[in-house]
Every structure is written in C-alpha cells, then in structure tokens.
Amino acid sequence: MSRLSGILWSLLFLAVPVLGVATFAVAPAYDIWLPKDVSEHGKAIDGLFYFILALTGVVFIATEVLLFWFLWKYDAARNKNAATYIHGSHTLEVVWTIIPAATLLFLAIYQMNTWADVKMRRPAMSPSVEVVGRQFEWRLRYPGRDGTLGTADDLFLVNDLHVPADEDFLVQLKSMDVLHSFFLPNLRIKQDAVPGMKIPVWFKATETGQFDIVCAELCGWGHYKMKGRVTVESRADFDRWLESQYAKQEATQPEPDPSTAVARAE
C-alpha cells in the first residue's frame, strides 16, 4: 500500500503541470481567451502577454515536472538509498540567482517602451471626448462643432461612446464622485478615473465594431451596472452619427411616432 501511495501522490503532483497546460491549451477553443484586439498598441500588449506566458510556461513545466520526478524517484517506500547529506551547492546558487535575475531585468526593460507608448507619450491634440465616471454610468461629452470642451455646443451622451477608426483618439477622463476605471477590453485600455483629477487616455482603434466599456474599479453597489458601449466606425459614419445626435439634442419638436420607431428597431 505504501509503495502504491507514493506512486499515486507523485502522479497527483504530475497532474499539476499536465492539467495546467491542458487548461490553457484547451481554453481558446471554448472562446475563453483574450478578447479580440482592435487597437494599435494592443498588439504589443498581447505580444508581451504571450511572451511571458511562454517563459513562465517553460519554467512552470520544468519545475513542476522536476518536483514530480524527485517525488517519484526518492520515495522512501521504493528507494532504499540513504538521503544525500548535502547542505547546498554554491555553484547552483550562483547560477540560479544570476539567470533569473538577468531574465527578470530583461523582461522589465523590454516592456518599458510599450508602457511609455500607452501611458506616457500623449499625442499632441485636444481631447476628442470627455468621459466622466459617475455612479453608475459613463457620462460622455463631445466638444461639438467648435472643437472645444466646455462650450454651449457640446454633445452630451451616456454610455454610448463612438470612436472614428484609424485615428488617434484622446479621452479626458474624470470622475464625478468615487473611483471608477475606464476599461475597454478590446482596445487594451484601462485607466482609473479619480475624483479631482483629469487623466488623459489615448488609443487608436484599427477595426470597426461594437465593444464593451467595463468599469474596473469598485464604485459601489452598481459597479456591475456600469456597462457602456464603444462603437468604432469610419470617420464618415462617425461624423454622420455626431450630427444626428446633435440634432436630437437640439430638438424643439417631438419625434414623429416614436413608439413605432422603437418597435421597428427590434
């Protein structure tokens, strides 16, 4: 029994790398993986993710398999040799200190450029939109025809962000009340909205489509409700949409037969 139990326990530890790798390998087939990336810098971020995944994957498999192997081989019930009386190996310590240190340092330095691109090198342009997080919605304000935020021709919307494709887009992010976080999964963008601060967020969307805006910082009981939608469309469509929204905002007459229009929208 004790011979068998050692084998079984070793195999249990072998299951860790096997099932671990299997889970990661199988997940994309079930559509449980990184969401579609439609931003310019997203490629760099995803690339870094995969690079780290490969690196940690190799270390994971190596260390876990080694652990399994040692448990299998040195099981006292099956291995009658005395244990090796050794207090360590100076060489090994040096090797397995220097190599990880160098790898980690390399990893850190390798990523600095991408970080700077996303968070430090702001494009020289005035904000395309102001996004204000509020319990529990995203209030948007486009600068309107005069291109300046804070004037009477601003366009006010809620939760419905439109972005022209293939253009630099600069968001001025604020919060009206508590911390929120402006998370666009498909654009690989995340930035906390801090009350009292105006934080610039920029990106370039490369594909059209409709994607989520998610609040990624606990902001109260309605944190899960702070769903927004970002629509990436061509510049022409974007301009058309902006005009139509503006016309709606300035409406002085009711819409013709609105209940039918809603039913038609189904």
C-beta of residue 186 within 8 angstroms of C-beta of residue 38: yes
Which range in 4-12, 162-170, 237-245 contacts another protein by CB under 8 A?
4-12
Task: Please choose, out of 19-27, 164-172, 230-238, the segment that lies near another protein by the rule CB under 8 A.
Answer: 19-27
Taking the least distance from each CB to another protein, the nearer of 166 and 178 is 178
Among 11, 59, 145, 239, binds another protein (CB under 8 A): 59
Please give the residues from 64 up to 83 whose contact with another protein meets the rule CB under 8 A: 64, 66-67, 70-71, 74-77, 79, 81-83
Shortest Å, Cβ 178 to another protein: 4
Within 10 angstroms of residue 205's Cβ, the number of other Cβ atoms is 26
Answer yes or no whether residue 232 interacts with another protein by CB under 8 A: no
Residue 227 contacts another protein per CB under 8 A: yes
Tell me which residues in 233-262 interact with another protein (CB under 8 A). 248-254, 258-259, 262
We find the least distance from the C-beta atom of residue 234 to another protein, in angstroms, to be 22
DSSP string, 163-188: EETTSEEEEEEEESSS-EEEEEGGGT
- Short-list 182, 168, 158, 180, CA closest to 245: 158
| Nearest one of 205, 164, 155 to 40, comparing CA atoms | 205
Q: For another protein, what does the binding mask look like between residues 29 and 58, x meaning CB under 8 A?
A: -xxxxxx--------xx--xx--xx-xx--
DSSP secondary structure letters along 225-249: G--EEEEEE-HHHHHHHHHHHHHHH
18 part of the interface to another protein, by CB under 8 A: no
What is the C-alpha separation between 92 and 1, in angstroms, rounded? 36
Our finding on whether 197 is near another protein (CB under 8 A) is yes
**Is residue 229 a contact residue for another protein (CB under 8 A)?**
yes
Residues 200, 122: contact at Cβ < 8 Å? yes
DSSP string spanning 19-59?
Answer: HHHHHHHHGGGGT-SSPPP-BTTHHHHHHHHHHHHHHHHHH
Residue located via tokens 């993986």: 33
Question: Does position 156 bind another protein by CB under 8 A?
Answer: yes
| 26 vs 235 by CB, closer to another protein | 26
